[in-house]
Amino acid sequence: MTDSVQGNNPDAREDADAHAGPGIVRFGDLRGPVVRQVGQLMAAAAMTAPKSGGQMLGAGAPVFIETVLVDDREILTRLAGWMRARGKERREAIWFRDADAAEAIDAVLFVGLVNPYPPNYDCGACGYATCAEFLHANKTLREQSKELEFSGPTCNLRGIDLGVAVGSAARTAAEHCVDCRCQTRIAVAARHAGLIEAEVAVAMSLSLTHKAVTFDRRMPQIDYDALDTPATGLLPVGIPGATRAQGARNKQQPRTPTPRPSRA
């Protein structure tokens, strides 16, 4: 803790409180405002980051980058609860680890894509010759993705744009000495809680502490069958007994089984 006035001596702390006045700012007083201000600067960095087809935006096309900053403790706790419910369905301990982190951070900045229309480059990175062909061919698939955690498919170049925006925001956090970790599971929670409109998003968890609270967290041991959590209604769901990576992840049931070639 950085507090040059109080120190660690209780008597000195009481004496400092008694003589506190204008011009004295303790770490506990500046922590929240600093994180919020840096989060806002990060949002600005994400919004002004380079994007494919920038001339379309200059011509009046809608902005497809969304930024939402959350530093309300009650909301973060609610997101953590949703993540645990989703973790039970997927039978993955990593959701519970990230839920614990969500309750420890100071704030989270969500950066995502809203209606990420292609830039009309007709680049072929999606596997289609033109952007129009990509949109037409995937219309049904996008409708079906409503029951998934994120919505897709998404234009590859827009995915790159999202990465550039997140990188610009992360650089801003580093420049101001606020710890930042990029995550997706809390972004899924925010999306289905109605906090963000983005079809796909990255969550940038922020903390201002002597040790980054989102790193070096051990994977918890979870008894999934003993948990009583509400259903999220999303796919996929985990296959019992199919753990991976020491329980952090689990094999998921496909919505449509993948046909396997005959070995005859």
Residues 6+ positions from 168 with CB-CB distance below 8 Å: 45, 46, 48, 49
257 in a structural domain:
no
Rg (CA), the chain: 22
pLDDT reading at 245 higher than 50? yes
261 in a structural domain:
no
Taking a C-beta distance cutoff of 8 angstroms, is the pair 80, 185 a contact? no
pLDDT reading at 262 higher than 80? no
Q: Is 220 exposed, middle or buried (0-12, 13-18, 19+ CB in 10 A)?
A: middle
Could you give the angle at which helices 93-102 and 185-192 cross, rounded to 10 degrees? Answer: 80
Question: Residue 174's domain is classified under what CATH number?
Answer: 3.40.109
In whole angstroms, what is the distance from residue 201 CA to residue 163 CA? 10
Rounded (5°) CA angle 54-57-58: 90
Residue 20 vs residue 113, higher pLDDT: 113
pLDDT reading at 36 higher than 90? yes
Dmax (CA) for the chain in angstroms is 86
17 in a structural domain:
no
Domain residues for the domain of 202 are: 27-252
Residues 6+ positions from 85 with CB-CB distance below 8 Å: 229, 230, 231, 232
Residues 6+ positions from 144 with CB-CB distance below 8 Å: none
- The domain total for the chain is 1
**249 forms bridges with which residues in the sheet?**
244
Mean pLDDT of 240-252: 96
Q: How many CB atoms lie within 10 A of CB 152?
A: 15
Mean pLDDT of 93-117: 98
Give tens-digit pLDDT for 148-192: 999 999 999 999 999 999 999 999 999 999 999 999 999 999 999
19 in a structural domain:
no
Q: How many CB atoms lie within 10 A of CB 188?
A: 24
10 in a structural domain:
no
157, 78, 77, 88: which is closest to 117 by C-alpha? 157
20 in a structural domain:
no
For 36-50, 92-106, 245-259, which range has the lowest pLDDT when averaged over its residues? Answer: 245-259
Q: Per the structure block, which two tokens stand in for 84? A: 């645990």
Mean pLDDT of 8-31: 63
pLDDT of the residue at 260: 83
pLDDT of the residue at 1: 30
Instruction: Give the SS3 label for residue 13.
Output: helix
Cα dist. 125→19, 115, 128, 166 in Å?
65, 18, 7, 21
Average pLDDT across the chain, whole number: 91
Does the predicted TM-score (pTM) go above 0.85?
A: yes
pLDDT reading at 229 higher than 70? yes
224 in a structural domain:
yes
Ordered DSSP codes for 123-141: --TTSSSSHHHHHHHTHHH
3 in a structural domain:
no
In whole angstroms, what is the distance from residue 71 CA to residue 235 CA? 29
